[in-house]
Amino acid sequence: MAPPPSPHGRSRPYGTAFRSGSSSRQPPRRRRLQGWIRRNRRLAVALLLCVATGLTVQQLTPAPDATVPAWAAAKDLPAGRVLAAADLAAIEVPPGVLPGGSLNLAALEGKQLAVGLRQGQLFSDSQLVGPGLLAGSPPGAAAVPLRMADPASIQLVSPGQLVNVVMTSGNGYEQAAASQLLATAVPVLWTSAHGGRAGQWLDGGETDGLMVVAADPDQARRLAGASTQGKLFFVLVGARPG
């Protein structure tokens, strides 16, 4: 008996299976992937473990803290330097690192440093010549300018050092000289030897031999105008006991 005709008018031999296009065949890409996994089973397991470990670490790692802008010394800066834009570096720091009395760019440019700074050290008002130098002083403390009888002696003292202030009266001839201790262990805030600019403390005028000290109310009363009553000298002293 002759085989039944095909739908297209053509006959096909007996024993020939009928296969539909691509329905029974796997895509070549999937076959290649399965073959690679069979050949590299250990490597595939290791990759899966690495991915799982990375996801776990990512979930357990805390998110980075928020930061705030700040200004730091772009290089080592000496006491007395008048700050310019090249001396300042903008950085980002955690909020808890920002010191009290931090200043913006406009408040820093043109100001004079009262202390030396290392590269990367953050700026605050307590490092500049001005009212901020009294930060941390006892309530009622005042910044008192003094003119020393020997201007060259200012070279021996730096901001932060403690001094005793002594006034000597008399001319050493007809009138005998007498010394009076006006203030004990007062901290030096500024000297004319460190930059030569009086900044916010004094307006113009001669600055040779000038220093500014932090004094309590009693010391401030004794020191005010003392340079008109006699000659002022200072004596370097050690740190006050805690």
pTM > 0.75: yes or no? no
Region 163-167 average pLDDT: 94
Higher-pLDDT residue of 43, 209: 209
Question: Which of 42-56, 94-108, 142-156, 173-187 has the weakest average pLDDT?
Answer: 42-56
pLDDT tens track for 17-60: 444 444 446 567 777 767 766 767 777 677 777 777 777 766 66
Percent of the chain with pLDDT over 90: 18
* Domain definitions of the chain by residue range: 68-128, 138-237
Q: What is the pLDDT of residue 23?
A: 45
What are the angstrom distances between the C-alpha of 160 and each of 50, 98, 120, 212?
57, 22, 21, 11
User: How far is it between the farthest Cα atoms of the chain?
Assistant: 159
Res 176: pLDDT: 58
CA distances from residue 97 to 20, 62, 100, 140, 156 in whole angstroms, order as listed: 73, 19, 9, 29, 34
Q: Round the average pLDDT of the chain to a whole number and report it.
A: 77
Contact predicate 3/14, CB 8 Å: yes
List, in order, residues 6 or more apart from 224 with CB less than 8 Å away: 144
Quick count: other Cβ atoms within 10 Å of Cβ 81? 17
The share of the chain scoring above pLDDT 70, in percent, equals: 72
Burial of 129 (0-12, 13-18, 19+ CB in 10 A): buried
Block residue for tokens 């030396």: 116
CA distance 97 to 122: 9
Residue 127 dihedral angles phi and psi, to the nearest 5°: -100, -5
Confidence of residue 15 (pLDDT cuts 50, 70, 90): very low
CATH 3.90.1210.10 matches 68-128: yes
**What is the C-alpha to C-alpha distance for residues 198 and 207, in angstroms, rounded to an integer?**
7
